[in-house]
Amino acid sequence: MDSGQNQVGQLGLGDRVNRGDGSGAMGDALPYVDLGSDWEAKGIWGGSGHFCALLHSNKIKCWGYNQYGQLGIESISTPRGSNPSHMGDNLQETDVCLESDE
């Protein structure tokens, strides 16, 4: 997928609108990805059509394409991120949890 494509909500903005294909569409014009209340990312990475955020709690939230279960949530093959109700506090944590080094 090319950057800016958003067919399954992989940009995490609650819609399926592509971004970055017009002037003034990038930088400050981009909305924030809502990871939920009290959720702050310390790292974000992406794959082919999905993204994941490592949170300060050492938990992970993922959104986008999920045909093969790459989001790590129970509903395999159901994408997340194309509807506002998918994001924020409604975005499930993955079944993977990292140990804290604190």
- What local confidence, expressed as pLDDT, does residue 61 receive? 93
Q: Which domain holds residue 57?
A: 27-97
The whole-number pLDDT of residue 98 equals 58
Residue 85 has a pLDDT of 92
**Residue 1 confidence (pLDDT):** 41
Residue 33, in any domain of the structure: yes
pLDDT lower than 50: segments of the chain: 1-2
* Tally of domains in the chain: 1
15's tokens:
């819609």
Euclidean distance between CA atoms 66 and 35, whole angstroms: 18
In a domain? residue 70? yes
| pLDDT score of 5 | 87
Contact 62, 70 (CB under 8 A): yes
CA 26 to CA 100: how far, in whole Å? 34
Look at residue 6 and tell me if it is in a domain: no
41 part of a folded domain: yes
Hunting for tokens 């506090």 — which residue is that?
Answer: 89
Paired tokens of 9: 């909500």
Please state, in angstroms and rounded to a whole number, the distance separating the CA atoms of residues 62 and 8.
13
Distance CA 38, CA 83 (A): 21
